[in-house]
Structure 1
């Protein structure tokens, strides 16, 4: 199946592409696995994967196309790339935070950032945080920034409390 997106992030996994795609599509409501391709005999001297094992998984999260590749252990994820999930409510923040951070790296949780069990970085961001960080009163924006820097998961009520000072 042809991907019609102009730009599609490709996530390089050792051999967890299918499990990761299933994990992500279980979290986001408007999501699906689109196609799974498998390694064949061709190029086995290069890729070293047994014929029939998963090569790529095409999937969508909230309308955004992704490709997950089982490319071997050569490359690892790092914080230089992350995916932002914008939320309207604390319940939504809490839900994404809990699900994406399950079995992830708890030392990487700060300022709304987390690392999931595959090492992929995510930012769980309530829309109000962006509004308050861009508040026309610079003192309010600075107070919100200070509060945010002390949080792991972003707490909307605390941001509102700090902004109201």
Structure 2
């Protein structure tokens, strides 16, 4: 499992870590309208999956806003942001932040995404910060587990991976 700290303290990460070249595992999360969403729903598209502990924090807010801006420049790339925030809170936050190009998804129900991608922080029942790019054939072409969950990911590397994915 990835070695991750949260505010400098070691945390236990649960789930199955994924690597470049792996087939992206499917998952079941909730959209803001409480409808079920899975990876299979966007089959055939390149997906950039941004994982954040909570949209209501500074770095998570900045990360989601950054990928929202990038989404306008990335043709044929679907950007998903996954957290354990409740769908209602995600919808409210997106409205207040003007987020329209990123789909926020909630993993609060059963941590399906978190377990499948190895991003569950056991001690906090949050997801650790990570970014994945999945190509149109459901292969992981980029995987970043941010070592300190309160730090920013490598935006440029993730965007470049999404641009070059097919």
TM (normalized to structure 2)? 0.26
> Over alpha carbons, which structure has the higher Rg?
1
Structure with bigger RCO (C-alpha 8 Å, 6+ apart): 2
From the two aligned structures, give the one with the greater helix fraction. 1
